[in-house]
Structure 1
Amino acid sequence: MSLPHRCHLCPRACGADRAAGQAGYCGADDRLLVARAALHHWEEPCLSGAPEDVRGSGTVFFSGCTLRCCYCQNYPISQEGVGKAITVEHLAEIFLRLQSEGARNINLVTATQYLPQVRHALDLARADGLTLPVAYNTGGYETVAAVKALAGYVDIWLTDFKYADPDLAQRLSSAREYPAVAESALRQMLEQTGAPVYDHEGFLQRGVIVRHLALPGCVRDSRNVLKILARLQKETGIPFVPSLMSQFTPFYKAEAQGLGRRITTYEYRQVVDEAIRLGLTDGYMQEKSSAREEYTPPFDLEGV
């Protein structure tokens, strides 16, 4: 699988000639850009352990993004191009180095724009002894074809489900079709990966984690997202790990879109109550005090 001459790797289907070096909507061209590769301690406990766990998740942050979230906490790499060009062979070496450092898993953050290179790097790393489960950390804006192309490569899907309302998705992420796209992608992830499987220490080896970040002033949409998730779980019969997040911090251009504050305790409590009512309780509900900037690591090219 090589870089496309007309790129359709993501739902934008922008048609950029990536193979010839033309940048797509995501900002990626024919180079492989990585901004950070290190042990990370702030994922769900079943991925990175407790905060004091020295091992953590072997997280690789890729540059560029197929979404345009006005509140992105990783905006220097998602939308401002921070990153270093590396070879596929070096990416494979990074995976193996993280394994040697004790990583619980390999965690690929926003990697779809580099899907051909990532698959190649995983092939190389596995041939040289990579045995860790691979987690795919995505905003949920994926084509069914991309999810299928990662069968046999991805063990754990760590996906967002951001919005139920197309108008909200357009205003905050420039992606009106996000709800329908995310639902189709999640259904494929569930059918492809199956129910969660844990090791003897409680670390996830296979399965799907679905994150939802509760946004200030958007309680109604959060409730509707949770209703979609509950319906999908019922329709597929495949359980997943829900992860309800309260950590919203007004980064980047959030204030200009009316998101200039953190979510209140009352707002978040309403979202949590809805999750409980719908039976989405076999997962994680972040403490309200978790809205801290430490969840965003420095993108200083560490480990690259």
Structure 2
Amino acid sequence: MPAMNLPTQCRLCPRQCGANRAAGEMGQCSAGDKLLVARAALHHWEEPCLSGPPEAETGSGTVFFTGCPLKCCYCQNYSISQEGLGKEIDTDRLTAIFLELQEKGARNLNLVTATQWLPWVLPALRTARQQGLQIPVVYNTGGYERAGTVRALDGAVDIWLADYKYADAGLAEELSHASDYRDICENAIRQMLLQTGAPQYDSEGYLKRGVIIRHLVLPGHAEDSLNVVFRMKALQEETGVPFLTSLMCQFTPFYHAADHGLGRRVTSYEYRKVVDAAVAAGLTDGYMQQKSSAREEYTPPFDFEGV
């Protein structure tokens, strides 16, 4: 069943492709008039303030949506982000999924790449809250978001889990077909910080409000990562709002990565260089990864569990 108020000229994401989704036309994100979800389950491999320690029986209640405004050539979730894998559901089922994850012990509701599905997601969140949803809502995004869309989510989202992928326009264009990525991402993160304020935790140390900015170090592009660190620090100084930094070395050459010079993993030297820069910049509140994180098995199976 289509959602109510589907756009006839879609402008939800920065692509602003103008697709008539009410008539079933697909946008550049590959979303049309039918909601597609690939997985809804407890996830144990997000940042510890979201998932808890690895031995925890609970986790982050993660909903993986089909499609994506970005087209990253190395996406580890390419089967759902670019190949269209997903199961059709309606708003009522999405509402039930949110509540089921809470009942399973999820510490938060983690919406992965949800922007193209907001005509379904927002009504489902409203209804779920009316029916007892109390856990924080995490908006898990590649960072390529319109500031206006972020503003529209004020009050619906408690925690922003946002990537800052690139500083260089040429690199963003080659790897994600998004030469405007840096400016779009910074405008969005700026709005996220102003909406949420400084990180807040519950009595057990789980994040209940705030912003986490992730950056995945790419092989051969440590210099761009250093520029990202510099610009993240500038955003913190400009807004005066602290955030958590998550520097990741888990890059694995999935999909078409090798065709773009990304056919290997990140070296310890490359990653340490970026971590040292973040520490020198004072971005010490957050997380870094062990090299063992670069493993295929950390990508969940998209087998429609929980959908």
Q: TM-score, structure 1 length as denominator?
A: 0.99
Q: Residue 176 of structure 1 corresponds to which residue in structure 2? A: 179
Q: Percent identity?
A: 67
Matches within 5 A, 1:96-115: 96-115=99-118
Q: Distance in 2 between matches of 1:303 and 1:166?
A: 38
Q: Residue 263 of structure 1 corresponds to which residue in structure 2? A: 266
Q: Distance in 2 between matches of 1:71 and 1:116?
A: 28
Higher alpha-carbon deviation: 287-296 or 207-216: 287-296
Q: Residue 39 of structure 2 corresponds to which residue in structure 1? A: 36
Structure 1 position 162 matched with structure 2 position 165: yes
What is the aligned length?
304
Q: Distance in 2 between matches of 1:69 and 1:111?
A: 16
Q: Distance in 2 between matches of 1:115 and 1:107?
A: 14
Secondary structure at the counterpart of residue 102 of structure 2: helix
Give the gaps of 5 or more residues in structure 2. Answer: none
Matches within 5 A, 1:128-277: 128-277=131-280
Give the gaps of 5 or more residues in structure 1. Answer: none
Q: Distance in 2 between matches of 1:194 and 1:269?
A: 29
C-alpha deviations, 1:199-254, integer Å up to 9, x for none?
01000000000000000000100000000000000110000000000000000000
Q: Distance in 2 between matches of 1:51 and 1:125?
A: 28
Deviation of 1:19 (Å): 1.1
Deviation of 1:52 (Å): 1.1
Secondary structure at the counterpart of residue 106 of structure 2: coil
Secondary structure at the counterpart of residue 163 of structure 1: coil
Q: Distance in 1 between matches of 2:132 and 2:149?
A: 25
Aligned amino acid, residue 234 of structure 2: R
Q: Residue 285 of structure 2 corresponds to which residue in structure 1? A: 282
Q: Distance in 2 between matches of 1:282 and 1:89?
A: 39
Q: Distance in 1 between matches of 2:65 and 2:298?
A: 16
Q: Distance in 2 between matches of 1:128 and 1:73?
A: 34
Secondary structure at the counterpart of residue 107 of structure 2: coil
Aligned amino acid, residue 45 of structure 1: P
Secondary structure at the counterpart of residue 208 of structure 1: strand
Q: Residue 292 of structure 1 corresponds to which residue in structure 2? A: 295
Aligned amino acid, residue 209 of structure 1: I
Provide runs of 4+ in structure 1 moved above 3 Å. Answer: none
Deviation of 1:293 (Å): 1.3
Deviation of 1:294 (Å): 2.1
Deviation of 1:2 (Å): 2.1
Q: TM-score, structure 2 length as denominator?
A: 0.98
Aligned amino acid, residue 166 of structure 2: Y
